[in-house]
Each structure stands twice: as structure tokens, then as C-alpha cells.
Amino acid sequence: MILNGSQILIEVLVEEGIRTIFGYPGGSLLNIYDALYMNKDRIEHILTVDECGACHAADGYARASGKVGVVLATSGPGATNLVTPLATAYMDSVPLVAITGNVTNDLIGKDSFQEVYIAGVTMPVTKHNFVVRKVEDLADTLRRSFEIALSGRKGPVLVDIPKDVTIAKTEFIKVKARKEKENKKIILDKNKIDLVADMINKAKRPVIYFGGGASNASENLRELMTISDIPSVHTIMASGILGYDEPLNLGLLGMHGSVTANKAIDKADVVLAIGTRFSDRVALNTKKFASKAKIIHIDIDASEINKNVKVDFSIVGDINEALDKLLKLINKRENKSWIKELYKWKKEDYKPKENANMITPYKIIDIVCSKAGKDAIYVTDVGQHQMWAAQYIHHIKPRSFLTSGGLGTMGFGYGASIGAKVATKNRHVIHITGDGSFHMNMNETATAVTYNLPIISIIMNNHALGMVRQWQTCFYDKRYSNTDINRKTDYVKVAEGFGAKGFRCTTTKELEDALDLALKEKIPVWIECIIDKDEKVLPMIPSGGTVEDIMVD
């Protein structure tokens, strides 16, 4: 059938199984929005307050569901508003397809109104990008974009479409829907699997170190740990892949990880690194990280092998396939003395301190978790609150802790919460944020109100840009340059002004009462909790340090 570019876009989205997109209109997108209008029953469009929020929402949608998130933005400033969220998705390997309008082909390169060379701007922050100059190339380019976003190490792809292409017509041929297409498989080297199994079987102090790449591997991971009695440590991106209270789960490692987890990696004789990249927040000193261990690295991205830390052995491929094969060769055994040593460290590990005068971050999170229940999804912004959330939330399921770990984007939270809520419908979405980050994206509350998304924002207000202030306390002799914030924002009033509900809490009782009400609401709720500005995220290992340098006060 003969269709125009905008209609082709709709058809390919439906073919790819996309039922919801996030976006913001503009001149270059008029034809596409017209096609969306005519196809309201097939594709739902969520209109946000700006393109940044729309793209963070597509990202949150993708993280919560495992599907591709789609965002639509207009040319020029609309497209450039996608840069930070695209970089956020790129750093955390989130599958997105971003579609941007552009000026007509004849106006490209002439400094036209709302024109920007977005393909050039986003080259370093996308897996790949395309400019579709001819409508004949549109369908296949879009299909290719989804394939690239979902294959191997996932990531964002941008497709830039000049306005005349959105109205030009061509023959459109349907193909098989995405779910019927087969994914290309990487063949694993059998000899390598044998060698790895042997190393694990013979290890005296083995540790598994896993990251976000293991999101779909919970069962295999748990089985490996149980059969061979191997403890594990994980990155912030892997929160929830194992339950927080599983006995062999030693928890978070790295800059703000536990003493136990960091010591375990330091003393291990074999480290099995799965779906992770030895980031500078984990391998703070690349030469001394796991220095006593033989390191085995399993990852889908070959370029991560030996990029930051030299490893002894590597397997490039899909984690589940590798673990499936490995499990057949692992011996059942116990590591009683190693586990005993680890539990001894766990008992002596850092515990958050009480505060007689103000609610503590630990208490806030504890109360929120017990009220929100096992099915809740937590989304954070960036800073101290993010670290406390990672450390103290009762993580139970994968894809239930959404955080910008790689880029560390303040302002990610509200948009991502919207995406997560749209993706999961009936689960509680709890947005944990700080007064700094919240000011960056609180206006997306207007979107949540419009679409009846009852997101609960817990604003940990310490009247400071806490994380930077903490570094100024520790390393800059308390010279608090531009980190003490004394804004007069009245969160309760502003929430109501948006059409949401607001609460202000200074005691645990006030928080409990506010949560009881909030969890029944059908509109978004902001719960401001006043905390001490001198609260620190602990433990802490400074950059370049090892567990020897860990600070516990």
C-alpha cells in the first residue's frame, strides 16, 4: 500500500510492538502528530512538560519493562533537549529509539529556523543514529533502529526525519512483527567454559561480582551461588537482581558499598565478574582492585574486557547462555570457612546511626519500604538520597530500582517515574529524591496529574546539595561553596498548585501517616521529609582508594 512517511512511522511502531510513546510536538512534527491523531486507538502518546521529561520517561519505561522506550521530539531545541537523557540511557545501556523531526531536506545546513545537526550532536551519546533523507529508506531504517537498540549491549538510537520525508509517499510492505523475529546468538567457546568451571570448582575464596548486565539472570545466578556456596556482591545497577536478604548476597560494593562487600572482593582468590564493567565507582583503584584474585569476566560487550581492569580470563556472550553451560559443570560443595569469615565481617559492619532530633534517611527508607510493600518500584534522582536508597531499600525484584548510575543525572527521577508507572500500571511507584534534584524536574508533576499517575515523591530535604557538600566536608575543610540551599519553596503549597497533594514531615509518625494517605491517592503526592544537613553517606571509599581507605565516620 502507498503511505506517507508519518503513516509508515505508525505502522513500523505497531510492527515493533510499541503501544505507548512519549513526546512533545513542534513544527517539524506536524505531519507525524497528524498521523498520531488519526491512530489514537493504536498508539498512546503521553505529552510531557518538555522533551527532557519525555525522554527520561521513555527511559524509565524501558528500564521497568525491558522493552524499547520511544520518544518523539521536534527539531532544533526540541532535539537538543534530548541530549542529557540520551547520554543517561547510553551510559546505563537502556534500549531507546528517539525520533526527531528536522527541517525539510532543502533547508538542511542553511541555519534554518529550529534546525540543528542533531546527528552530529548525539553521535557520542547514542549507539548509532540515522538521518533519513528519502522516504523509501524510512521503514527499514526504523526497523534497523529497533534492532540495534535491542541487540547485544542495548542502547539508545536516534532517527532524524526531515519534514518533507514525513509527508512524501512510497510503497510500504509489512514484515513480521518484532516478537516473531529471532535474535542473533553469539556462539560460546566450550573450552573456555570448561576452564572457568574448573577455576570456580577449585577456588577457596570465590566471589561473584555482578552488575546491570545480569538483569535477566536472577535464577541462574542464584542457582550457581547455592550449588557452589559462593557469595556475591553487586553494583548499584544490579539492585534487586537478588533479594536484599538472601544469605549469600553481601550487597553493594564500591565507593559507598559495605565494608564486607569491599573486603570480600579484596580478599577473594577467584572473582567471577558477570554483566558489569569495573566502573570507577567500583574499581576505585584499577591496579589494586581484587588484586589477590584471578578475575574471570563474562560480558556481552567485548570492548569492556580489559578496558578498566586487567582480567585473567574472559568470555564474550550472553550471560544466561554462559551460566546455563557453566551450571552443568559446577560441583556441589560448601565453603564453610570463607562464609564464616564473611559473616563475621557482616556482624561488625557499619550500621547507620540514630539521630535523636531528626528523622534519619535510613528510617525514612525503612518506613517507606514496609508501607509500600513488595511490589513497589523505586526511582531515584542523584546524590546522597540515591546512595541511601541503594543501600537501604529492601530490594526484592529486578527492574524495580531505577537510577541513573552511569551518567548520574539529577532530574532523571520524575520523568523516569512517569515512564515506570505507565509501564507497570498497578504497582506503586515511589520516587526518592532530594531538594536539589527535585527542583530540576518537579514540573513533570503536571504530566502525572494530567494522566492520573499517582507517583509518590519522597523528598529528602536537607537544604543542601548533599553529596557535593559531603565531599566539601571531607576533602575541602568544610568550605561550603554553593552547596547550602535555603530556598523558600513550600512543597505543600506548590504540590497543590500543580493539582497534586503535599505533606511535610519532621517525625516518623508524620511520615507514616502521610504514607498511609498517599498510598490510597489517585493523584501524585509529594512527601517532604526534613533531614539533618550533616548526614553523611557511609561507608565511603574515596577515588583511587581501596578497602584499606574505607571511611566509616
Partner 1 sequence: MKNKILSLLVDNNPGVLTRIALLFSQKGFNIESMTAATTYNDKITRITIVTNGDDSHMAQMMKQTEKLIEVHSVFALDTSNSLMRELLLLKVAINNGDSSIICDIANAFNAKIIDISHNNLVTELSGMPDIIDRYLNALKDFNILEMSRSGVTALERGDIYHS
Cα 83 versus chain centre, distance: 16
Which of helix, strand or coil describes residue 497? helix
Q: How far is the CB of 279 from partner 1 (least distance, A)?
A: 16
Query: CB under 8 Å to 509, separation ≥6 — which residues?
Result: none
Q: How far is the CB of 302 from partner 1 (least distance, A)?
A: 5
Which of helix, strand or coil describes residue 340? helix
Burial class (CB in 10 A: 0-12, 13-18, 19+), 516: exposed
Cα distances (Å, whole numbers) of residue 81 to 49, 348, 422: 12, 47, 22
Q: How far is the CB of 194 from partner 1 (least distance, A)?
A: 25
Q: What backbone phi and psi angles, to 5 degrees, belong to 180?
A: -90, -5
- Helix (H) / strand (E) element for 62: namely helix 51-65
In this structure, what DSSP letter does residue 310 have?
-
| 3-state percent helix, strand, coil for the chain, nearest multiple of 5 | 40, 20, 40
What string of DSSP letters covers 134-193?
SGGGHHHHHHHHHHHHHSSS--EEEEEEEHHHHH-EEE------GGGSPPP-PPPPHHHH
CA nearest to 273, candidates 218, 226, 220, 235: 235
Q: Which of 19/310 has CB closer to partner 1? A: 310
Q: Which of 128/439 has CB closer to partner 1? A: 128
Peptide bond into 539 cis (omega under 30): yes
Catalytic annotation, pick one of 44, 114, 358, 397 = 114
Query: CB under 8 Å to 330, separation ≥6 — which residues?
Result: 197, 200, 201, 224, 227, 228
Residue 51 catalytic?
A: yes
Catalytic annotation, pick one of 255, 387, 467, 540 = 467
Cα 49 versus chain centre, distance: 21
Residue 113 catalytic?
A: yes
Q: How far is the CB of 128 from partner 1 (least distance, A)?
A: 4
Catalytic annotation, pick one of 67, 163, 325, 421 = 163
Q: How far is the CB of 124 from partner 1 (least distance, A)?
A: 5
Q: How far is the CB of 496 from partner 1 (least distance, A)?
A: 46
Q: How far is the CB of 133 from partner 1 (least distance, A)?
A: 9
Q: Which of 305/456 has CB closer to partner 1? A: 305
CA nearest to 246, candidates 229, 266, 265, 263: 229
Compute the chain's Rg from CA coordinates.
24
Using CA atoms, how far apart are residues 382 and 248, in angstroms rounded to an integer?
28
- Helix (H) / strand (E) element for 466: namely helix 466-475
CA nearest to 60, candidates 72, 49, 70: 70
Amino acid at 194: D
Residue 15 catalytic?
A: no
Catalytic annotation, pick one of 11, 15, 16, 51 = 51
CA nearest to 488, candidates 532, 435, 444, 412: 435
Catalytic annotation, pick one of 38, 113, 169, 202 = 113
CA nearest to 61, candidates 379, 443, 445, 452: 379
Q: How far is the CB of 553 from partner 1 (least distance, A)?
A: 38
Find cell 565478574 and name the residue.
273
Q: How far is the CB of 316 from partner 1 (least distance, A)?
A: 10
Q: How far is the CB of 148 from partner 1 (least distance, A)?
A: 6
Q: Which of 148/323 has CB closer to partner 1? A: 148
In contact, 214 and 238? CB cutoff 8 Å: yes
Q: Which residues contribute to the site for partner 1 (CB under 8 A)?
A: 119-120, 123-124, 127-128, 148, 301-303, 305-307, 310
Using CA atoms, how far apart are residues 184 and 277, in angstroms rounded to an integer?
23
Report, as residue numbers or ranges, the catalytic residues: 51, 113-114, 163, 467
